[in-house]
Structure formats: C-alpha cells, structure tokens
Amino acid sequence: MAEYGVAKFVLPGEGESGDQHLVCCNENGILVAAIDGIGHGAEAANAAKAAITVLRNGVGEPIIPLVVTCHERLRATRGVVLSIASVDVSHGLMTWLGVGNVHGVLVRADKKSTQETLLLRGGVIGDHLPQLQAAVHPVAQGDLLVFATDGIRTDFTGTLSALENPQRAADRILKVFGNRSDDALVLALRITGIHL
C-alpha cells in the first residue's frame, strides 16, 4: 500500500532521539505519524514512544478520537507534538491533522495540482490539546506524503517531487535542511495501494 523512507538526526550527547515515527497498514489503509517528544533525550523519547503505542493500537479508528486518547494517556509525560494521517486506500482519501510544529506536505503525482500543506494547530498532546479539526483530501496512486519535525527547516517544501524515491528524499531533506540544533526526523511515504 505504501513505500516509505525515514531519516533521523540525534542531538549529540543524547542516547536516543525524541523524534519518532509510525507507519502501520491494515486491510483498509495506512496510519502514518511523526511525533516529536518535548525537549530531547530519554524523557522526550519515552513520551514519543508512549504516543506510538496508543496510535498503533488504534489503527483503523478515526484520527480525532485517537489523538484525544493519546492526549489522555500522555498526561504523565512531557508531552508531544505530532502530525498524523490516515489513508483510506479503498476510497482514495487521506485524513490528517497536526498539533504543534511537525510539518506535513502532500505532493501530487499528477503534477497538475499544487502541494497540499497541513494546517498546524498550537498545543502539546499530554498538556494542552487545541480544538482538533482534521482535513480530508483525495489522494491518488504515487502521491508523496512528507512529515518533518522542527529540526528541519521548512523551506524543504520547495524541493519536493513525487517521483523521488522516498528514502532518498528523506535522506536528502535531512542532510540539506537539518538545523543540527535539535533532534530531527523526516518521513517520506509514497502511496502505492490506490486502484480506483
């Protein structure tokens, strides 16, 4: 249903990254998320991993209640910011939302359409949850979804092509646009399972 690539940068001196990702598929679609634990190091990583556990257990559920559940379960942690997308491959639809500053871009394979950019709402999951509103977009075979945490400069969006291999895209974005002052994660996912 999808092919994807991930590139990560761990802040020097830290044992693990507070930036984590999730890609899960079931018979109905794909759940994709990029999660940035607040701060860096082990506590940030633990918060991000706790979010992944909640999300993984909710594959196939609507994303707004899933994010609300994540918020409730993360109250005892530092909290996270995240962007999440659910792709319904049988209907060619993607539902996505973002809380915090994990950027999301959808690059169309047909080249006739412009990029779609995820609207981000301020807040921290586990601390202050904003009013959630998901956007729904049609998606097609070959469309490329890219999530990047705040360790990546946002001007990467002007360099995207749906034709680029997802792993090469993730590696290139991290190398060229990483600011090296924070953990960083780039997740690039090409949708391949839509046959409408």
Of 26, 78, 24, 77, nearest to 55 by C-alpha is 24
Q: Spell out the domains of the chain, with CATH numbers in brackets.
A: 2-191 (3.60.40.10)
- The pLDDT value given to residue 196: 64
Number of other residues whose CB lies within 10 A of the CB of residue 126? 23
Is residue 113 pLDDT above 80, yes or no?
A: no
CA pseudo-torsion sign 12, 172, 99, 60: negative
- The pLDDT value given to residue 32: 97
pTM for the full model?
A: 0.95
- The pLDDT value given to residue 77: 95
Query: Where is pLDDT greater, at 89 or 106?
Result: 106
Find out whether 89 and 28 touch, Cβ atoms under 8 Å: yes
Q: What is the pLDDT of residues 147-179, one digit of tens each?
A: 999 999 999 999 999 999 999 999 999 999 999
Q: What is the pLDDT of residues 22-75, one digit of tens each?
A: 999 888 889 999 999 998 889 999 999 999 999 998 888 899 999 999 999 999
Is residue 182 pLDDT above 90, yes or no?
A: no
Distance (Å, rounded) from C-alpha 119 to C-alpha 138? 16
Entry field: residues in the chain: 196
| Tokens linked to 32 | 């994709």
Distance (Å, rounded) from C-alpha 74 to C-alpha 81? 11
